[in-house]
Amino acid sequence: MKRISKATLYPTCLHSLFGAGILVMLCMGCGLYTSRRGKFAVWAELLDQLDLHGNERILDIGCGRGAVLLMAAQHLTTGRAVGVDLWKRGDQSGNAVEATLRNAVAEGVADRVELQTGDMVKLPFEDNSFDLVVSNVAIHNVKDQEDRKKVVEEAVRVLRPGGQLLIADLKATGEYLAQLTNLGMMNIARRNLGWRMWWSGPWLATRLVTATKPAAVPPQCARPA
Per-residue model confidence (pLDDT) at position 74 = 97
Rg, Å, the chain Cα set: 21
Taking alpha carbons only, the member of 132, 112, 113, 130 closest to residue 47 is 132
Tell me, yes or no, whether 179 lies in a domain: yes
Q: Length of the chain, please? A: 225
Per-residue model confidence (pLDDT) at position 72 = 98
Tell me, yes or no, whether 115 lies in a domain: yes
Tell me, yes or no, whether 1 lies in a domain: no
Per-residue model confidence (pLDDT) at position 98 = 93
Tell me, yes or no, whether 206 lies in a domain: yes
Residue 184 neighbours by CB under 8 Å, 6+ apart: 214, 218, 220, 221
- The count of structural domains within the chain is 1
Per-residue model confidence (pLDDT) at position 123 = 98
What are 31-56's pLDDT values in tens digits?
565 666 789 999 999 999 999 999 99
Phi-psi region of 77 (alpha: psi -120 to 50; beta: other; left: phi over 0): alpha
Residues 117, 62, 64, 70: is their CA dihedral positive or negative? negative
CATH of the domain at 92: 3.40.50.150
How does the average pLDDT of the chain come out, rounded? 87
* E strand or H helix at 14: helix 6-33
Cα 58–Cα 63–Cα 65 angle in degrees, nearest 5:
125
Per-residue model confidence (pLDDT) at position 16 = 60
What are 146-183's pLDDT values in tens digits?
999 999 999 999 999 999 999 999 999 999 999 999 99
CA distance 132 to 28: 33
Tell me, yes or no, whether 180 lies in a domain: yes
Write out the residue range of the structural domain in which residue 119 sits.
6-221
Tell me, yes or no, whether 151 lies in a domain: yes
CA distance 80 to 100: 15
CA distance 194 to 78: 33
Tell me, yes or no, whether 32 lies in a domain: yes
